Amino acid sequence: MHLNQLPERAREVVEYRKSGLSLNHIQGCPLDCAYCVRHTYGLWDQRQPRALMTDAQAVDELVKHRYFRPNVTPIQLFNRATEPFLPKVRPHTFAVLEELDARDLTNHVLVITRHQLNQYDADRLNQLRHIKVTLLFTYSGIDRPEIEPYPSKVAAESLKLMSAPRLRNYRTILYWRPLVPGLNDTDEHLADARDLSEYADATVFTGLFYRDQIAQYYRSNGIPEPYALTARRKIVPEALEARVLAAFPNTVALFRKTSCAVSYVHGLPDYNGHYGIRELCDICPLSQLELCRAAHRVPTAVEVHDVASVLPEAADLKVVDITERAAVVSGLETEQPRYFLQHSLGFQVHDERHPHHEKRHGRADIGWTEKPA
d(CA 295, CA 293): 5
Residue 320's alpha-carbon distances to 28, 91, 139, 323, 350, in angstroms, are: 40, 46, 39, 10, 10
Which of 264, 271, 339, 340 touches ligand SF4 by CB under 6 A? 264
Q: Among 34, 341, 71, which residue's Cα sits nearest to residue 209?
A: 34
Kindly write out the interface string for residues 76-105 of this chain, putting x where it contacts ligand SF4 by CB under 6 A and - elsewhere: ------------------------------
Contact residues for 221 (Cβ-Cβ < 8 A; gap 6+): 34, 146
Does position 288 interact with ligand SF4 (CB under 6 A)? The reply is: yes
Q: Are 33 and 214 in contact (CB under 8 A)?
A: no
d(CA 113, CA 366): 28
- Spatial separation of the C-alpha atoms in residues 360 and 225, rounded to whole Å: 23
Select from 15, 83, 201, 270 the one that contacts ligand SF4 (CB under 6 A). Answer: 270
Q: How far is the CB of 2 from ligand SF4 (least distance, A)?
A: 42
Closest to ligand SF4 by CB, 219 or 278: 278
Q: Which of residues 107-136 bind ligand SF4 (CB under 6 A)?
A: none
Nearer to ligand SF4, 83 or 241 (CB): 241
Q: Whole-angstrom Cα distance, residue 214 to residue 76? A: 22
Binding piece for ligand SF4, criterion CB under 6 A, among 16-24, 118-126, 275-283, 359-367: 275-283
Site string for ligand SF4, 204-243 (x = CB under 6 A): ----------------------------------------
Task: Please choose, out of 83-91, 195-203, 268-276, 365-373, the segment that lies near ligand SF4 by the rule CB under 6 A.
Answer: 268-276
For the CB of residue 274, give the shortest distance to ligand SF4 in the complex, in Å.
4
Q: C-beta of 72: minimal distance to ligand SF4 in Å?
A: 17
Subset of residues 299 to 318 that bind ligand SF4, contact rule: CB under 6 A: none
Stretch that binds ligand SF4, among 19-27, 121-129, 214-222, 281-289 (CB under 6 A): 281-289
Give the separation between CA 366 and CA 249, rounded to whole angstroms: 27
Q: How far apart are CA 254 and CA 193, in angstroms?
A: 11
Give the strand pairing for 132-139 and 108-113. parallel
Q: Does 14 bind ligand SF4 (CB under 6 A)?
A: no
Decide: is 347 part of the binding site for ligand SF4 (CB under 6 A).
Answer: no
Binding range to ligand SF4, per CB under 6 A, among 130-138, 206-214, 241-249, 283-291: 283-291
147 binds ligand SF4 (CB under 6 A): no
User: What is the SS3 assignment for 302?
Assistant: helix
Helix ranges (H only) for the chain are 55-63, 90-102, 119-125, 152-163, 187-197, 212-220, 238-247, 258-265, 286-295, 301-308, 336-345
Residues that bind ligand SF4 (CB under 6 A): 257, 260, 263-264, 270, 274-275, 280-281, 284, 288-289, 292
